[in-house]
């Protein structure tokens, strides 16, 4: 391996180590988030509320797009990510009501 | 509003406040993660490496499924989440090489 590609490999590995650490933060944060959405799902099922709450979801989308902008996160990605997480949560809430 | 539905509303709002805080953690962590994947993308483009690295991705999937299990995160969700994030990153790497 030449000097350039060795240096490149060290830099690449350093980024990958950071990505792995951040992925652990994401997984544990998502698990904590799901604990709360599960409780919300149970509350909704118990009180015969709709699994989906368009007003709450619209507020979440607006707030998260603002946060994403502040954090420098790509807006298109933020939107896709959010709709992915919300749809998974609704799917879970629906399954509680069946 | 009766006493039960008032109590339910307070509990619901408490969970929603936690969810909002955790979403801020997710957004900022994703932004930090993207900073690193962008650097990886640039390195790969500069050194004419493939945007996708199946060996690295297989390792990531294995590690994240283990982490998800430890964190008590639903495995089906963890898999979907991971494939979503990885495919977005690959899409971004590919766009750098065009």
**Closest chain B residue by Cα to residue A85:** B81
Give per-residue pLDDT as tens, B68-79. Answer: 999 998 878 887
Which tokens go with A71? Answer: 């954090």
Q: How far is A73 from chain B (nearest CA, A)?
A: 5
> Are A18 and B36 inside 8 Å of each other by CB?
yes
The whole-number pLDDT of residue A66 equals: 92
Give per-residue pLDDT as tens, A66-83. Answer: 999 999 988 788 878 777
Domains of chain A from N-terminus onward: 3-97 (1.20.59.10)
pLDDT at A29 exceeding the cut of 90: yes
What is the pTM for the complete model shown? 0.86
Measure the CA–CA gap between B12 and A36, rounded to whole angstroms: 9
Instruction: Report which DSSP code applies to A48.
Output: T
**Closest chain B residue by Cα to residue A63:** B20
> Are A27 and B77 inside 8 Å of each other by CB?
no
Task: Identify from A4, A9, A12 which residue to disrupt to test chain B contact, counting B C-beta atoms within 10 A and taking the largest count.
Answer: A12
CA gyration radius for chain A? 19
Contact B77, A90 (CB under 8 A): no
The model's confidence at residue A3, banded by pLDDT at 50, 70 and 90, is: confident
């Amino acid at each position: 391996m030449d000097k350039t590609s060795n240096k490149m490999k060290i830099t690449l590995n350093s980024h990958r180590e950071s990505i792995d650490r951040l992925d652990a933060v994401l997984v544990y944060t998502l698990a904590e988030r799901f604990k709360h959405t599960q409780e919300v799902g149970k509350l909704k099922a118990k009180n015969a509320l709709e699994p989906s709450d368009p007003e709450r979801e619209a507020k979440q989308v607006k707030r998260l797009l603002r946060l994403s902008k502040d954090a420098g996160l790509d807006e298109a990605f933020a939107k896709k990510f959010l709709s992915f997480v919300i749809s998974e949560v609704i799917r879970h809430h629906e399954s509680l009501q069946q």
